[in-house]
Structure 1
Amino acid sequence: MPCRRQLRLCGMAALVAVPFLASPARAGEVWLCLTETRGDGHEVTRLPAGSDGAFSLSFIHSVSRTPVTDYYHVADGQIVQTSEVFRAHGAGLPSIANDMDATGWRHEDGHFILDMHRLTGPIPLRIQAQFKNTLHTADTDLPLAGLGYNALTLAPCDEETSP
């Protein structure tokens, strides 16, 4: 089996080759994998999520031209969206409190916040530099356009790379 598919079994040599990695994996740490969507599906990079499996994705909304941030965490190997924070309503943004999987709705400090518990599965990402798509983890703010792909899929590594 290729070493990249068995990161936990390959030891320190594999860890040195992994981009954005500063220290060896710790037990229970959640890893996020970005894979190419439109080509051969190869792994582009992997990085650790926050200590509780938390991460977020931010972008500029294509219609309202305002920032949007989606918050997630990984629980039991699945991605759960916990909220969406935005400044202006636009196509594709929630506009009612009883949106799919919503658990709360509020307006705070000029932002609309939709709290939710939404299982997403792997997240397909369409990357365009002008929309500033960025993956945020505890240790990294990764501008996705800088990776050189216009379509990526984000998933917990165990889900994307089966043994």
Structure 2
Amino acid sequence: MSRRYAASALIAIILGAGILFLPFITALEISDFKTRQRLLLVGMESGEEFTISFIHSVNRRPVYDTLRVESDHLVIVRSRYDSFGAGMPESSTGEGTFKVAKDGWLEWTVNRPVPDITVRVGWTAEHTLHVKDRKIRLSELAEPGSALTIRVINTGIIDFLKGRSIK
């Protein structure tokens, strides 16, 4: 009887430990580009969107870039801005569709899949991650001038709980 109990307990421990490490949580990972140090994990579902906002360096107006999480990559969905600035699309092209939204903002929709994106934390751009009803300034995660990589990963519960994370 005690051997059967010990074997059952051992199997339960092995299965429990395995569940903690199996990569079944889809997450948005923000890490330092150079060191690869993980700075933030955000639990996400495939199809969920998040936004990165910043102040345009030339016209000093806000820009909102929306991205979508897929199972193993990101999709750049659209950019919204209220006035034209250097490098901002002004018309539809083969890459994307330009329109004026009902609220008067300009929208550039591209739906471009990418494996990850790199964002250099600006000194005055106020790069901000809008996710899960939270606003996180990227300058809270890394010094201005630092490059950050944003990508989708699949991780286990232990990894998710180890560092700074948002469910």
Contact 2:45 2:69 (C-alpha < 8 Å) held by counterparts: no
- DSSP-derived class of the 2:20 partner: helix
- The residue that corresponds to 1:79 in the other structure is 74
Q: Does 1:106 align with 2:96?
A: no
Distance of 2:44 and 2:71 partners within structure 1:
14
Distance of 2:94 and 2:57 partners within structure 1:
21
Contact 2:32 2:148 (C-alpha < 8 Å) held by counterparts: yes
Task: Determine which of 121, 124, 135 is the counterpart of 2:115.
Answer: 121
TM-score normalised to the size of structure 2? 0.70
- The residue that corresponds to 1:54 in the other structure is 49
Distance of 2:45 and 2:131 partners within structure 1:
6
Percent identity reads: 25
- The residue that corresponds to 1:9 in the other structure is 20
Q: Does 1:32 align with 2:28?
A: yes
How big is the shift at 1:99?
5.2
How big is the shift at 1:151?
1.4
Distance of 2:20 and 2:87 partners within structure 1:
42
Distance of 1:80 and 1:51 partners within structure 2:
11
Contact 2:46 2:70 (C-alpha < 8 Å) held by counterparts: no
- The residue that corresponds to 2:6 in the other structure is none
TM-score normalised to the size of structure 1? 0.72
In the TM superposition, what whole-angstrom CA distance separates every residue of 1:23-65 from its partner, at most 9, and x where no partner exists?
Answer: xxxx6x6311011013x21111111236732111110011111
More relative contact order in 1 or in 2 (CA 8 Å, sep 6+)?
2
Distance of 2:85 and 2:94 partners within structure 1:
14
- The residue that corresponds to 1:135 in the other structure is 129
- The residue that corresponds to 2:148 in the other structure is 152
Q: Does 1:88 align with 2:99?
A: no
Could you list the runs of 5+ residues in structure 1 that have no partner in the other structure?
Answer: 1-7, 12-26
Contact 1:46 1:157 (C-alpha < 8 Å) held by counterparts: no
Figure out how many residues of one structure are paired with residues of the other and give that number. Answer: 135
Task: Determine which of 67, 70, 74 is the counterpart of 2:65.
Answer: 70
- The residue that corresponds to 2:15 in the other structure is none
- DSSP-derived class of the 1:128 partner: coil
